Structure 1
Amino acid sequence: MLIGEVAQRSGVSARMLRHYDRLGLVSPTGRTSGGYREYSDEDIRRLFHVESLRTLGLSLDEARRALDEPGFAPADLVGDLIRLTRQRIAAEQELLTKLERVDASVPAAWSDVLRMVTLLRGLESEFGARRQQAILSHDDSATLPVDALAAAVLAEDDLNVAGALQWSLARTPGHGVAALEAGLDSPDVVVRRRAVTAIASVPTADASAALRRVLGDADDTTRDRAALALGSRGSVDAVPLLLAMIFEGRRDVEAAEVLGQLTEVSTSAEDIVTALQDAFDGTDANSVRLRITQALAEIPGNAAHEALTRLTAADDRTIAATATAILATRRRTGPAQKG
């Protein structure tokens, strides 16, 4: 076949066929009776092999080597092509995400688009100060990209920048809780911890609902942060975990303080004291008993006062002395409240 017919049947332009010929990649090896160069069946097969290899991302030189060099192994090259393709896909996905975030801000003019791109680029900076500046300088709360801010919070390890991000989210409708909640399902425990911390700063019912999901998390720190936040909001759902924090010595002072607050708004002081006493009687570990004694200092009312009075006679001198000191402080600060 002559070049024009080959171009028509193969879909490869005559110009590209001539380029292949100059490179020695695919050249017509036959001649017509009139002396014109003609593509043989073998030349056509080689052309289709070249085009097939190009669809995999091979360059023309790589395609030539693959066809002509017996020792040109495909494994390494294909592996490199896979890696490069994944990088291109990731870059395209990143661009798509950025475009979607710009679109979500409903820009009315190109100036709005440029402001949004400036913010998004600032969030991507490797320098914390620049990330913080980009956040604080975006003064239009109506165009803040909630998803981008939430994603940045979940990835941010600079506490100052994280605080600025949370401040920005607080200015958006819904405070970004729905977007942050996705972080609670992350397999990365650090991301889950960041999500809980950010959600805990939002004083809304949907934020409390999100925090309740975390009370069964496998990570102690994640659970504890959720329990402290919920307890501070008056949620009795946090009580079992707050008690466990005291027994196990995880932020036990904070847990006791939150339990004391709960007894004033939503749960019975007697129930808390009973749970603490049962745990005291159920362990021989003086370290646990001492934490329980100290926790009773935060519980108002007669029930805690009576429990502490009994503990002044405890066999362990440290526990007895601690209970005595707590009672002395209570007497100085005022009468025990009724539990």
Structure 2
Amino acid sequence: MTVTGQDTDTNVDGDMDGDMDTNADAVRALRGLEHDTASVRLRAALAIGTAPDPRFVGRLVERCAIEPEFFVRDMLTWALTRHPVSVTLPALVREVRSERAQARSQALHTLSKIGDRRAWPAITPAVLSDADDEVARSAWRTAVVLVPEGGEPTLAAALATQFGRGGRETQLSLSRALVALGEVIAPALRAATTDTDPRVRAHALATRRLLRDPDAGFDLAIEEAKRVVALGGSGQEGR
């Protein structure tokens, strides 16, 4: 009986034990995502990304929506990029429509890292103009990554509707997204520099400066643009 038991442990139960060990590791990692200590959650996300399993995707996405620490969220995103796109893409696209702002923002950020253009239909005008600045900023960056060839002018026009929005970081994010599209943004810039809203005109002028000189600092560009607008100019003479 002893010999038989040893043979069984080696040939059959050995495989079962391996599966049980794997499942135990998975359970520990998933529990780790809920731990009170951020470093433990970070290690859990790293472990899941190192040994990806489609069964983990739902929990990773759920955690992204509530994780308070940026560096842990970044690791969660990395872990998701390690899983099959066929599993992650549908889950993330659904999350873009979540009622929770962080869920939307992190899902968009993760989609930008995956870079699969099949997610492009999720980048709707409503998403690009999301009321939450963090979500909108994530949407702008993601849109530039996912926009299909030939769709850049339409995207530029949609992004231009957000000129003048928010504070420095929000405006800088929009300018960077537009500049990344290149010269196709010129018509949208021309229209915005004659807008009746001085904030819109100044932001458009600063963006045009960055398009021409990528090394120009945004703060300098926006202050210069504000001076032009304050003097009653649109900057059109400098086209």
How high is the TM-score relative to the length of structure 2? 0.68
Residue 129 of structure 1: how far off its partner (Å): 1.1
Q: Contact (CA 8 Å) 1:153, 1:162: kept in 2 or not?
A: yes
Residue 109 of structure 1: how far off its partner (Å): 1.8
Return the match for 1:246 from 135, 145, 163.
Answer: 163
User: What amino acid sits opposite 1:163 in the alignment?
Assistant: D
Instruction: Spell out, residue by residue over 1:231-267, the C-alpha distance to the aligned partner (whole angstroms, 9 max, x if none).
Output: 2445524323321222335622332233233135xxx
Return the match for 1:298 from 202, 210, 233.
Answer: 210
Greater gyration radius: 1
**Structure 1 CA distance for aligned equivalents of residues 206 and 54 of structure 2:** 49
Q: Does 1:259 align with 2:178?
A: yes
**Among the aligned pairs, what percent are the same residue?**
19
**Structure 1 CA distance for aligned equivalents of residues 121 and 107 of structure 2:** 13
Q: Which moved more, 1:112-121 or 1:227-236?
A: 227-236
User: What amino acid sits opposite 1:252 in the alignment?
Assistant: Q
- Aligned residue for 2:104, secondary structure, equals helix
Residue in 2 that maps onto 1:210: 122
Bigger RCO of structures 1 and 2 (CA < 8 A, at least 6 apart): 2
Residue 298 of structure 1: how far off its partner (Å): 3.0
**Structure 2 CA distance for aligned equivalents of residues 143 and 109 of structure 1:** 16
- Aligned residue for 1:248, secondary structure, equals coil
Q: Contact (CA 8 Å) 2:112, 2:141: kept in 1 or not?
A: no
Q: Does 1:180 align with 2:95?
A: no
Q: Contact (CA 8 Å) 1:185, 1:192: kept in 2 or not?
A: yes
User: What amino acid sits opposite 2:143 in the alignment?
Assistant: L
Residue 187 of structure 1: how far off its partner (Å): 2.1
Return the match for 1:123 from 33, 36, 41.
Answer: 33
Residue in 1 that maps onto 2:67: 156
**Structure 2 CA distance for aligned equivalents of residues 315 and 218 of structure 1:** 27
Residue in 1 that maps onto 2:144: 231
**Structure 1 CA distance for aligned equivalents of residues 120 and 79 of structure 2:** 20
- Aligned residue for 1:172, secondary structure, equals coil
Q: Does 1:189 align with 2:101?
A: yes
Unaligned 5+ runs, structure 1 = 1-106, 302-310, 328-335
- Aligned residue for 2:164, secondary structure, equals helix
Residue 144 of structure 1: how far off its partner (Å): 6.2
**Structure 2 CA distance for aligned equivalents of residues 319 and 128 of structure 1:** 51
Aligned Cα root-mean-square deviation (Å): 3.4
**Structure 1 CA distance for aligned equivalents of residues 194 and 88 of structure 2:** 45
Q: Contact (CA 8 Å) 1:144, 1:172: kept in 2 or not?
A: no
Q: Which moved more, 1:206-215 or 1:130-139?
A: 206-215
From the superposition, tell whether residues 127 and 274 of structure 1 become closer, same or farther in structure 2 (CA, over 3 Å).
same
**Structure 1 CA distance for aligned equivalents of residues 193 and 41 of structure 2:** 49
Residue 162 of structure 1: how far off its partner (Å): 0.8
Residue in 1 that maps onto 2:219: none
Return the match for 1:287 from 199, 217, 235.
Answer: 199
**Structure 2 CA distance for aligned equivalents of residues 179 and 230 of structure 1:** 18
Instruction: Spell out, residue by residue over 1:206-244, the C-alpha distance to the aligned partner (whole angstroms, 9 max, x if none).
Output: 333333475366424223421232124455243233212
From the superposition, tell whether residues 254 and 319 of structure 1 become closer, same or farther in structure 2 (CA, over 3 Å).
farther
- Aligned residue for 2:39, secondary structure, equals helix
Residue 123 of structure 1: how far off its partner (Å): 1.2
**Structure 2 CA distance for aligned equivalents of residues 109 and 254 of structure 1:** 47
**Structure 1 CA distance for aligned equivalents of residues 158 and 118 of structure 2:** 20
From the superposition, tell whether residues 300 and 118 of structure 1 become closer, same or farther in structure 2 (CA, over 3 Å).
same
**Structure 2 CA distance for aligned equivalents of residues 168 and 281 of structure 1:** 45
Residue 315 of structure 1: how far off its partner (Å): 7.6
- Aligned residue for 2:114, secondary structure, equals coil
Residue 180 of structure 1: how far off its partner (Å): 2.2
Q: Contact (CA 8 Å) 2:112, 2:142: kept in 1 or not?
A: yes
Return the match for 1:167 from 67, 74, 78.
Answer: 78
**Structure 2 CA distance for aligned equivalents of residues 230 and 218 of structure 1:** 13
User: What amino acid sits opposite 1:156 in the alignment?
Assistant: E
Q: Contact (CA 8 Å) 1:184, 1:214: kept in 2 or not?
A: no
Instruction: Spell out, residue by residue over 1:57-78, the C-alpha distance to the aligned partner (whole angstroms, 9 max, x if none).
Output: xxxxxxxxxxxxxxxxxxxxxx
From the superposition, tell whether residues 187 and 315 of structure 1 become closer, same or farther in structure 2 (CA, over 3 Å).
closer
Residue 118 of structure 1: how far off its partner (Å): 0.9
Return the match for 2:110 from 198, 202, 212.
Answer: 198
